[in-house]
Chain A
Amino acid sequence: MCVDSLHDALIAAHSDNDQHQLVSLYQQAYQQMRKNGHIEASFFYLTNAYVFALDCGHGDADDIAAILKQENRL
Chain B
Amino acid sequence: MILVDEPKNIKRVIRCPYHSWCYDLNGDLKTTPHVGGPGQNTHEGICPEDLSLFKMKSYVWHDVVFVNIDGKADPFEVVNKELMERWSEFKQPSYHGGEKSSFKLNVNTNWKLAVENYCESYHLPWVHPGLNSYSRLEDHYHIEEPNLYSGQGTLVYQQLRNETFPDFDGLSDKWDTGAEYIAVYPNVLLGAHRDHLFSIVLEPLAKDKTQEHIELYYSEDPAATPERESLRQENATLWKSVFEEDIFVVEGMQRGRLGEHFDGGRFSPAMDSPTHNFHHWVASQISSNG
A51 interfacial by beta-carbon distance below 8 Å: yes
* A73–B15 CB distance below 8 A: no
Contact at A73–B13, with CB atoms within 8 Å?
no
Contacts of A55 in B (CB 8 A): 11-13, 15, 22
* Beta-carbon contact of A41 and B38 below 8 Å: yes
State which of B12, B22, B40 has its C-beta within 8 Å of the C-beta of A43: B40
Closest-CB distance, B44 to chain A (whole angstroms) = 12
Residue-wise, chain B 39-52 has the 8 Å CB interface mask toward A (1 for contact) of 11110000000000
Q: Interface 1/0s, chain A 23-58, versus B by CB < 8 A? A: 000000000000000001111111110110011110
A43 / chain B contacts, CB cutoff of 8 Å: 38-40
Pair B38/A74 contact, Cβ less than 8 Å: no
A-B contact count (CB 8 A): 49
B12 touches A51 (CB 8 A): no
Rounded to whole angstroms, the CA-CA distance of A2 and B62 in the bound complex is 54
Contact between B40 and A54, CB atoms less than 8 A apart:
no
| A73 and B20 within 8 A (CB) | no
Name B's interface SS.
Answer: loop
**A66 CA / B24 CA spacing, docked (Å):** 17
3 nearest CB pairs, A to B:
A43-B39, A57-B11, A44-B39
- Number of residues on chain A facing chain B (CB within 8 A): 19
Judge whether B39 and A47 touch: CB under 8 Å.
Answer: yes
* Contact yes or no, A50 B12, CB < 8 A: no
Residues of B in contact, count (CB < 8 Å): 15
Alpha-carbon distance A45/B41, docked complex (angstroms): 12
By beta carbon, the residue of chain B nearest A53 is: B12
CB within 8 Å of A: which of B15-40?
15, 20, 22, 30-31, 33-34, 38-40
Q: A56-B11, A57-B11, A57-B12 are in contact. Are A51 and B38 (CB under 8 A)?
A: no
A51 close to B11 (CB less than 8 A): no
- Decide yes or no: A74 and B31 within 8 Å by CB, A51-B15, A54-B15 being known contacts: yes
Kindly list chain B residues whose C-beta atoms are within 8 Å of the C-beta of A57.
Answer: 11-12
